[in-house]
Amino acid sequence: MKFEEYERVIMRYGYTGRITENIIEEIAQDINLDISHLEQENSIQHYFFKNGRVFQDGVFKPDQLLKIGYLLTIHDSPRLALESLWGLINPNMEEYVENNYIKSFLEDLFYYPVDLHLEYQLKTQHKNGEIEEYLRELDETKNNAINEIFWKLDAKVSKADFIDSCGNKLTASYKIRSLVQPIRNLE
């Protein structure tokens, strides 16, 4: 599924700042979500969509749903992906955004490809020691990756400066994990 389609569906119902469980059930097919997995506490879908950042008191937070969608859907190009990310960071399309806000946004974004997967690995029956070790290493080094981007930014950040500072590193979940811990040459 393309992010633009996912975003359109979420925003159609999420403009009020809240999406109820009934609405998620109604749009599940449109966003390629199997509702039956949401209720299974040991499913990765449950961890993504029913964790406290996304879901509280029967209501889903559209901004978090959009972050998940951004990370898990297809983008036509890295450039368009980063423009979409800028739209999530700066929905009012101001000329500049404070760098501290961007850092906070990135910390929140990195939660899904790093922390959430570690939480899932630690709490499920399908434990894998190698995966757990890898995810723990990611968790320990993710702030370095965020700071690497943050240090390139001025106090006020334009869209062009943000995109330049990120390169293609933030266009998918697996790319964020690669940024946090690059693949090592084993030779």
Are 60 and 89 found together in one domain? no
d(CA 23, CA 56): 15
Are 7 and 33 found together in one domain? yes
In a domain, 28, yes or no: yes
Dihedral of CA 86/87/91/95: which sign? positive
In a domain, 185, yes or no: no
In a domain, 187, yes or no: no
- Which among 37, 52, 72 is the end of a domain? 72
Give tens-digit pLDDT for 112-125: 999 998 988 888 76
Give tens-digit pLDDT for 27-82: 999 999 999 999 898 899 999 999 999 999 999 999 999 999 999 999 999 999 99
Give tens-digit pLDDT for 102-152: 999 999 999 999 999 898 888 876 677 888 888 889 999 999 999 999 999
Which range marks the domain in which residue 143 is found?
A: 78-180
User: b or e along 55-90 (b: 16 or more beta carbons within 10 Å of the residue's beta carbon)?
Assistant: beeeebbbbbbbbbbbbbbebeebeebbebbbebbb
d(CA 30, CA 154): 39
Are 148 and 89 found together in one domain? yes
Are 95 and 173 found together in one domain? yes
Are 46 and 9 found together in one domain? yes
In a domain, 186, yes or no: no
Distances (CA, A) of 120 to 37, 50, 113, 131, 132: 14, 12, 11, 11, 10
**Overall domain count for the chain:** 2
CA angle 151, 78, 96 (to 5 degrees): 45
Q: Helix, strand or coil for residue 12?
A: helix
Are 48 and 85 found together in one domain? no
- Which among 49, 72, 95 is the end of a domain? 72
CA angle 98, 104, 108 (to 5 degrees): 145
In a domain, 151, yes or no: yes
Are 83 and 152 found together in one domain? yes
Can you read off the two tokens belonging to residue 167?
A: 């390169």
**Residue whose entry in the numeric block shows the structure tokens 């965020």:** 146
